[in-house]
Structure 1
Amino acid sequence: MKASILYKYSFILAAGVLLSGCSASISNSVSNQNNNEQYVSRYLVPNQLPAPQSIQSVQLYRKGSDNNPPIIELGSAQKMVLAFDELSDLSGQFRITFTHHDQDWDNSNIPQDWYLEGINEIIVGGGEKNELSDPDFFHYETEFPNNRLKFKISGNYMLHVSDFNSGVKLFSLPFFVTEDAGEIRSWVETIYNAGQRYNAIDQPFSEFVYPDFIEFPQFDLSFYFVQNRFWGDQKRSENYDFSEQDRSQFHLSRERAFPANYDFIGLNLNSLSVDGSQIIDVRFGQTPPLVILREDILNFTSDPVSRWTSNFGNPKSSTESRYASVRFRFDDGGRFSEDKGVYLVGDFNQWLLSENNKLRYNEDSGYWETTSLIKQGTYTYKYATKDGEHGIDDLILSDTITRRNQEYASFVYFQDPEYRYQRLLQVQIFRSSE
């Protein structure tokens, strides 16, 4: 391992922005050995550590398709796949460990041998070196559970990736193990002109038929909803009906419903060449190559057909894939000032509101501009602003009229009466209809 490892990760927290008093639902406090800092992202759950700039193209999904959510069934043959790149000219080695959490992402405080069978450690090394340079990188990939490590109970889990030699914690990712117990049916009711900006809202509903072991559902069950796999912005259902003997219904109130107009802008970087529509210039004389995008225009750039499929995007895995410095340009119509600030958030930066992704106004071009290092592939992104000192507003730049097809997940948790931990009985992925 390279001797400069401690220097290389000294900027591990540089990707975040220090904000005070942020909303608990989307602002999560994380720490490493020497720093405490707050990050704002709808994706990050409490105590999750975002990846440093030296780690790129992170993915975590159920094996079979990189569009699958990070959810596997307890006791099944299903596996999770973790993949990432390290920007380096030398191969590294990494240690992966796992923790179990309750439904609100607090540590469940149960012994490790209750939730894990085997050794709580996966060593990943070697890596696959890219065949192109500028910058050099190694690609790493591993699968779990395996014959040395299995999960014994359901619930919320977090994997933690550290540098093997130095022990420096690099990043963490949430995933879920479900029992698939009971039966669940979910749907969405859309209410128009009901949002804060008179946008449509989506009110998710679910009906859960109990498995036989549920004796006191009104005391032992809790229910949550998540929109578009933004796990850090989960919402607990405050409305439920236990009047029927074998089932319950639960939903969010209108006041806490999700926006139905949450939209995304698609980014196609499969080919680093001028396409006349999105990429208007490519400069290979720079290292890495500079890709300049056509300007995004307020309320006019988002794709009218939702193609969102993953929190991580779809970076190419070929050894001939390369990274580019991508310049984003945004025309706000004179709506924002430097004090307000405009930020680029997307699946290539963990939807993180960061000073590294803050746009600066270019008086010569008349656009807000920023650059981001991104691997060849396809991605989605948005523009966002700070919500005062309390979080992120990634809807202020969205089309307030057009309803979009959103993805939702419903979660059913059961407080185990004997061992007092949260079991995850059911997860259902469903979509609002067009």
Structure 2
Amino acid sequence: MSKILKTICFFVTFLIAFFGYSQNQTLEPNYIKTVILRSNNTNNYAPIIKLGDKFELSFDDSNADETEYYYKIEHCTFNWDISNLNSSEYIDGFNEDRIRDYQNSFNTLQPYTHYQVSFPNENTQIKISGNYLISVLNEDDEVIFQRKFLVYQPKVTVGVSIHKSRDVATIETKQSVEFIINHPNLVINNASEEIKPIILQNDNWQFTINNLKPQFYRGTQLLYKYNAKTSFWAGNEFLYFDNKSIRNSSLHIVKSELGKQLYHTYLYPNEPRSNEPYTLYPDINGNFIIRTLDGENPNTDADYSWVHFTLKMPKLLNESVYVNGSFNNWKLNDTNRLFYNEKLGQYEASILLKQGFYNYDFVTVNKNKNISNHEISGSHYQTENNYTVLVYYKKFGSRYTQIIGVGYGNSKKLTN
């Protein structure tokens, strides 16, 4: 290959990586489905794990050929680069091993092999806190997909409160996060440099706030009492559907029918909610749960269905529209992009999903790559959202960044 051609290939690869929306570092093949990386704690959907607690990675391979897969765990820096630590410094045992637990699907139209691996296990125990990347590789040592997760060791406590915006222009549409870091047993010499908090809305890394310095110091407390600087668009409650009974329609499913090979689930058409008043209904903040009434074990008995999404609205000239949710790892690509049907005057998308209960919403992306969760769905200060404050700590001279505390807040309890 000529030097010029190599340069062109490198430049194209760089552009794809730079402008891609995916939080993964590799493009997942279409035969990998339903990747779940979660703590084993009840109602904990995010891969934020207390050091020593159990968590699990699972996924389906629709090739259903019992391929041998391997996992590899790597410690990362605050900015998600691979750190300079040796694996023995952050892992007891091995940071690579074969995934031995797999089963073929049973009585499903879509055949697949379900894989799962739990941590800590007899071969791999994580020793220190921080950002981590887990990669799944095939027999040829090729990376098939990757996921990020966080391990924290509680050395501080974090108090979080959610407020209405103090800005009159956004008082009805935004929520602000205030928090206090309590460190009675930890000496912090230079908090403005050593402590790096990050705020997440609904465990979604598309919407984060960082680069915050303590505003006040009170004994062994660091106070972050910002308002405008820590304000999020509140968005709206997530839409949802439940196709645990794949053959039947339900509250948000207009019809379900068997196609040539698989079932098709048609959702009722959605319309923009940006000009609609706020309506309260429960959601799980963008997450999903695999379940089925057609078998006993949802891991292997749940089938796959083509889920058809429709959004009735005029075409946006300079923006793309996506179905957004944890089911797609909050990444935006052609798999979950809606394309406009000029004849019917609506956006449409079809996504192959495993049976279960799903939250989703519609987001827009403009030419500057800015993501909006409120242009179509609207934004109301009353919206119920989860907020997570992650406390990163890198002591002067340390070789890695720790996560020393996690705090949680929910906008059900707004403090004005």
TM-score range for the pair, normalised by the shorter chain length: 0.7 to 0.9
1:311-331 CA-partner distances (Å, limit 9, x unpaired): 4x1123243210001111111
TM-score (norm 2): 0.85
2:109 maps to what in 1?
134
1:82 equivalent to 2:61? Answer no
> Secondary structure in 1 aligned to 2:89?
helix
1:323 maps to what in 2?
304
After the TM superposition, which of the residue ranges 133-142 and 250-259 deviates more from structure 2?
A: 250-259
> Secondary structure in 2 aligned to 1:114?
helix
Does structure 1 retain, via aligned residues, the 8 Å contact 2:198–2:391?
yes
Aligned-partner Cα distance in 1 for 2:14–2:281:
35
Does structure 2 retain, via aligned residues, the 8 Å contact 1:239–1:253?
no
Taking a change above 3 Å as real, the CA distance of residues 279 and 301 of structure 1, as seen in their structure-2 partners, is farther
1:212-266 CA-partner distances (Å, limit 9, x unpaired): 3424042322222111001354321524134323111125541451112343111
Q: Which amino acid aligns with 1:64?
A: N
1:10 maps to what in 2?
none
1:383 equivalent to 2:382? Answer no
1:92-128 CA-partner distances (Å, limit 9, x unpaired): 1111111112333233322222211211113114621
Does structure 1 retain, via aligned residues, the 8 Å contact 2:234–2:380?
no
After the TM superposition, which of the residue ranges 48-57 and 143-152 deviates more from structure 2?
A: 48-57
Aligned-partner Cα distance in 1 for 2:378–2:26:
31
> Secondary structure in 2 aligned to 1:160?
strand
Does structure 2 retain, via aligned residues, the 8 Å contact 1:92–1:126?
no
> Secondary structure in 2 aligned to 1:319?
helix
2:322 maps to what in 1?
343
1:307 equivalent to 2:283? Answer yes
1:343-370 CA-partner distances (Å, limit 9, x unpaired): 2222322222212333233345443211
What is the aligned residue count? 393
Aligned-partner Cα distance in 2 for 1:301–1:359:
25
1:143 maps to what in 2?
118
Q: How does 1:85-124 map to 2 (within 5 A)?
A: 85-124=60-99
> Secondary structure in 2 aligned to 1:206?
strand
1:49 equivalent to 2:31? Answer no
> Secondary structure in 2 aligned to 1:296?
coil
* Superposition CA RMSD, Å: 2.7
2:294 maps to what in 1?
none
1:290 maps to what in 2?
264
> Secondary structure in 2 aligned to 1:238?
coil
Q: Which amino acid aligns with 1:328?
A: F
Q: Which amino acid aligns with 1:368?
A: Y
Aligned-partner Cα distance in 2 for 1:378–1:152:
35
Does structure 1 retain, via aligned residues, the 8 Å contact 2:100–2:117?
no
Taking a change above 3 Å as real, the CA distance of residues 338 and 159 of structure 1, as seen in their structure-2 partners, is same
Q: Which amino acid aligns with 1:330?
A: L
2:150 maps to what in 1?
176
Q: Which ranges in structure 1 are unaligned for 5 or more consecutive residues?
A: 1-19, 21-28
1:206 equivalent to 2:185? Answer no
Which of 214, 218, 242 in structure 2 is aligned with 1:240? 214
Aligned-partner Cα distance in 1 for 2:376–2:280:
15
Taking a change above 3 Å as real, the CA distance of residues 303 and 61 of structure 1, as seen in their structure-2 partners, is farther
Q: Which amino acid aligns with 1:410?
A: V
TM-score (norm 1): 0.82
> Secondary structure in 2 aligned to 1:113?
helix
Taking a change above 3 Å as real, the CA distance of residues 84 and 102 of structure 1, as seen in their structure-2 partners, is same
Which of 184, 189, 194 in structure 2 is aligned with 1:216? 189
The Cα shift of 1:402 comes to 5.7
Percent identical across equivalent pairs? 22
The Cα shift of 1:211 comes to 4.1
1:410 equivalent to 2:393? Answer no
1:34-79 CA-partner distances (Å, limit 9, x unpaired): x8564225xx2xx6435332111111111133634322222x3x11
Taking a change above 3 Å as real, the CA distance of residues 399 and 37 of structure 1, as seen in their structure-2 partners, is closer
Q: Which ranges in structure 2 are unaligned for 5 or more consecutive residues?
A: 1-11, 292-297
Taking a change above 3 Å as real, the CA distance of residues 195 and 238 of structure 1, as seen in their structure-2 partners, is farther
Aligned-partner Cα distance in 1 for 2:95–2:87:
8
Aligned-partner Cα distance in 1 for 2:146–2:279:
31
